[in-house]
Structure 1
Amino acid sequence: MRKVLFVCTGNTCRSPMAEALLRQLAEREGLDVEVKSAGISAVDGASASNQATQVLGEKGIEHRHASALLRRELVDWADVIFTMTANHKAYIIHDFPESVDKIFTLKEYASLDANQVAAYQDLDQLYAEMESKRAEIQGRYSLKADEPWPKEAEEAWQNEIGPLLAKEQQLLRELERVARSQDIVDPFGGSVEQYRQCAREIEKAIQAIVARWKE
């Protein structure tokens, strides 16, 4: 069984729709998938927005939802984590760098071939390594997070990060040809039609992912 976690901000609009849409499609296609959703700033127990509920109802989906704040147990539970925006993805990687290899934006994963997905994973792993080295130097020099770095700490940082920056530029050049917005815009507070458009965007990405998984 593949365990999938969708993540957005409040877990009342985009990620609940994605959760329900994948569950419906997986059942239709006979895929063994367990699906959950969460939000990086969610309040536990909130219902999905009225617009999201209406749009899902128009697709014949009755989805009883209670929002959940993203926590370590959910990150550990998931085999793959799909975020709605690059900022959501960066937030999770920052807080859970050990899980970097299973975190993607939804559209990124849906639209890229295996080699491009691997390149994005390498880039994310690189950023996680940079954060680890930054923390290591802060500890080495007993520096607080908001404290200016002395010259020797800056020099140590530059020595540590130099090879990583060179690799970063290489990966960015490789990905430049496919660079485009991978974000799914938050419809919060918008019209039902904006929610329909958001759901169509999510559904298109999910259909591409399910087709890949079936292969």
Structure 2
Amino acid sequence: MSVHILFVCTGNTCRSPMAEAILHSKRLPNVEVKSAGVYAVNGGDASTHAKVVLQEQGIAHNHSSSQLTKGHTDWATFILTMTASHKQLILSHFPDAINKTYTLKEFVGEIGDVSDPFGGSVEMYRNTFNELQKLIELALQKLP
């Protein structure tokens, strides 16, 4: 049985695409991954700095942003958000997702939100990438 992981952020251009790319690059059997944004525009590109950081890490990722839909939430085994406000927004629109929606940090037993590099330097994106990489390693240990 496959585990479906959905990463969610705001615009689906920075954090969730990087998280999706990190997990996808691990090529784990029986793990599928997607990303979406609570306020995303469909068909947008990942941010330039996100693409630079992924390239630096040797991770290929062809991204097209997508607005979070019921189809996404129905597909997901786990919905992992970047912030508590993303989680609350999801639960207000998709209350049936309550038992599978967590902030990424909550899922791994930590407190707080994943840092948002939007509008920041490439160094901020590197820091967020490193934070995501660490959190995803911890999250993998929690998967069934």
Q: TM-score range by the shorter chain?
A: over 0.9
Are the counterparts in 2 of residues 111 and 205 from structure 1 also a CA contact under 8 Å? no
1:50-89 to 2 correspondence within 5 Å? Answer: 50-89=48-87
Q: Which residue identity lines up with residue 24 of structure 2 in the other structure?
A: R
1:5-51 deviation per Cα after TM superposition (whole angstroms, max 9, x unaligned): 000000000000000001112x1xx4321110000000000010010
Are the counterparts in 2 of residues 6 and 15 from structure 1 also a CA contact under 8 Å? yes
Q: Within 2, Cα distance between the matches of 1:49 and 1:185?
A: 15
**2:8 — aligned with what?**
7
1:36-51 to 2 correspondence within 5 Å? Answer: 36-51=34-49
Are the counterparts in 2 of residues 4 and 81 from structure 1 also a CA contact under 8 Å? yes
Say whether 1:185 aligns with 2:91: no
Q: Within 2, Cα distance between the matches of 1:190 and 1:36?
A: 24
Q: Within 2, Cα distance between the matches of 1:109 and 1:96?
A: 19
Structure with greater helix share of residues: 1
> Please, what is the CA RMSD of the aligned residues?
1.2
Q: Percent identity?
A: 50
Length-normalised TM-score, structure 1: 0.64
How far apart are 1:213 and its partner, in Å? 2.9
Are the counterparts in 2 of residues 82 and 103 from structure 1 also a CA contact under 8 Å? yes
- Higher RCO (C-alpha under 8 Å, 6+ residues apart): 2
Structure 1: tracts of 5 or more residues without a match: 113-179
Larger-gyration structure (1/2) = 1
Structure 1 segments (4+ residues) deviating >3 Å: none
Length-normalised TM-score, structure 2: 0.95
Secondary structure in structure 2 of the residue aligned to 1:213: coil
Equivalent pairs counted in the alignment come to 143
